[in-house]
Amino acid sequence: SYVLTQPPSVSVAPGQTATITCGGDSFRSKNVHWYQQKPGQAPVLVVYDNSDRPSGIPERFSGFHSENTATLTISRVEAGDEADYSCQVWGSSSDPVLFGGGTKLTVL
Amino acid sequence: QITLKESGPTLVKPTQTLTLTCTFSGFSLSKRGVGVGWIRQPPGKALEWLALIFWDDDQRYSPSLESRLAITKDTSKNQVVLTMTNMDPVDTATYYCAHRSESGNWYFDLWGRGTLVTVSA
């Protein structure tokens, strides 16, 4: 089955840029979506279709993907960005929704 | 404004069947392309997709749990119901329902707040 790989944790100082990766085979053919989840809260979609942002999501959040890796970049990180971030793709017709294991972003 | 809210028991015993209801507003599950999905998250663990139902009653399930799941919709009540049989303590998790936009790809643009289900004797 298709597997999405994320680093368990990423740390960044306020004002710096955070980069969170999501790896998988043949990523180029898949659209990647990203969710932010703060403690005790439901996930929030922050990037969809690789690089689009829903309304209300700051421009500081951006997405990019290449052959085998998708990247969520958070510019000018703020304390309020501290959360878990999960990637998600369409896997296959028999297993259509796949989530990565999540990455905990810590703002130092 | 789209909202979704999960409801159901907070505690179930092993081997019992769990029934969860997602009550939504702000959209119609009769509209072409729209879907409602269920996703769960065990404490401290990753999100896991369970099931998805579309406007045309197309149903999709996680292959690893398909034999235990059933998803149905009641368009007139704006509700989607998920049943999971033979519950086990490993099924202890927060269960979320979420809206899948008619705009196209398989992502969830709005989520309910979730409901914590504990499986214990």
B46, A35: Cβ pair inside 8 Å? no
Read off φ and ψ for residue A36, nearest 5 degrees. Answer: -105, 135
- What pLDDT was estimated at residue A67? 82
B59-61 and B48-54 as β-strands: parallel, antiparallel, unpaired? antiparallel
How many other C-beta atoms are found inside a 10 Å radius of the C-beta of residue A72?
A: 29
B35-41 and B18-25 as β-strands: parallel, antiparallel, unpaired? unpaired
Q: Which of B39, B105, B110 sits opposite A49 (nearest CB)?
A: B105
Q: Tell me if chain B has a CB within 8 Å of the CB of A90.
A: yes
Average pLDDT per run of 10 along chain B, which is 121 residues long? 97 98 96 95 96 96 96 97 98 98 87 98 96
Closest Cα to residue B4, out of B86, B69, B101, B84? B101
Mutation target among B106, B111, B115 for the A interface, most CBs of A within 10 A: B106
- What pLDDT was estimated at residue A22? 95
Beta bridge partners of B98: B37, B111
C-alpha dist (Å) from residue A61 to A18, B22, B38: 10, 30, 26
CB-CB contact of B94 with B111 (8 Å): no
Q: What is the H or E stretch that residue A63 is in?
A: strand A61-65
Mutation target among B107, B109, B115, B116 for the A interface, most CBs of A within 10 A: B107
For chain A, the residue count is 108
Q: Tell me if chain A has a CB within 8 Å of the CB of B66.
A: no
- Tell me which DSSP letter residue B105 carries: S
Tokens of B54: 């579309």
Which tens digit of pLDDT belongs to each residue from A46-89?
999 999 999 999 999 999 988 889 999 999 999 999 999 999 99
For chain B, the residue count is 121
Which tens digit of pLDDT belongs to each residue from A19-49?
999 998 777 788 999 999 999 999 999 999 9
**At A27, is the secondary structure helix, strand, or coil?**
helix
Q: What is the H or E stretch that residue B7 is in?
A: strand B3-7
Tokens of B78: 């704006």
**At A32, is the secondary structure helix, strand, or coil?**
strand
How many other C-beta atoms are found inside a 10 Å radius of the C-beta of residue A99?
A: 22
